[in-house]
């Protein structure tokens, strides 16, 4: 399962970097329509937050010293995914206002 968490984390971080650098480039060029964060919208940003949360929580649970089984680690990864998605969804809404 560690590979699944690692792949999700890498995909989320790559998406996060694309949003940050793409938004910065679009702002500097004066093309707000080319901003990937605005194109994805709140649900897309929540998906990226969920991927990062899933990967980080899953990796943390797998490598913890508590000796959790894979099912407990997966449950904690799902909780992390929900927390990351909710944080990105509502945090993005505050930033847009």
pLDDT tens string 59-71: 999 998 888 888 9
User: Total domain count for the chain?
Assistant: 1
- The pTM of this model reads 0.84
17-37 burial code (b ≥16 CB/10 A, e <16): eebeebbeebeeeeeeeebbb
Query: Quick check: is 59 in a domain?
Result: yes
Mean pLDDT of 69-89: 93
pLDDT tens string 42-51: 889 999 999 9
CA 75 to chain centre: 17
Query: Quick check: is 39 in a domain?
Result: yes
Query: Quick check: is 35 in a domain?
Result: yes
So what's the pLDDT on residue 40?
86
Query: Quick check: is 70 in a domain?
Result: yes
Query: Quick check: is 97 in a domain?
Result: no
Query: Quick check: is 6 in a domain?
Result: yes
Query: Quick check: is 83 in a domain?
Result: yes
Mean pLDDT of 31-53: 89
Query: Quick check: is 72 in a domain?
Result: yes
Q: How confident is the model at residue 27 (pLDDT cuts 50, 70, 90)?
A: confident
Domain extent, residue 33, equals 2-92
């Amino acid at each position: 399962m560690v590979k699944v968490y690692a792949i999700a984390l890498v995909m989320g971080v790559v998406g996060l970097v694309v949003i940050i650098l793409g938004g910065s480039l679009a702002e500097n060029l004066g093309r707000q329509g080319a901003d990937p964060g605005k194109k994805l919208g709140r649900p897309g940003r929540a998906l990226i937050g969920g991927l990062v949360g899933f990967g980080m929580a899953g990796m943390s649970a797998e490598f913890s010293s508590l000796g959790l089984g894979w099912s407990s680690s997966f449950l904690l990864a799902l909780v992390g995914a929900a927390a990351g998605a909710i944080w990105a969804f509502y945090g993005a809404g505050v930033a847009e206002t």
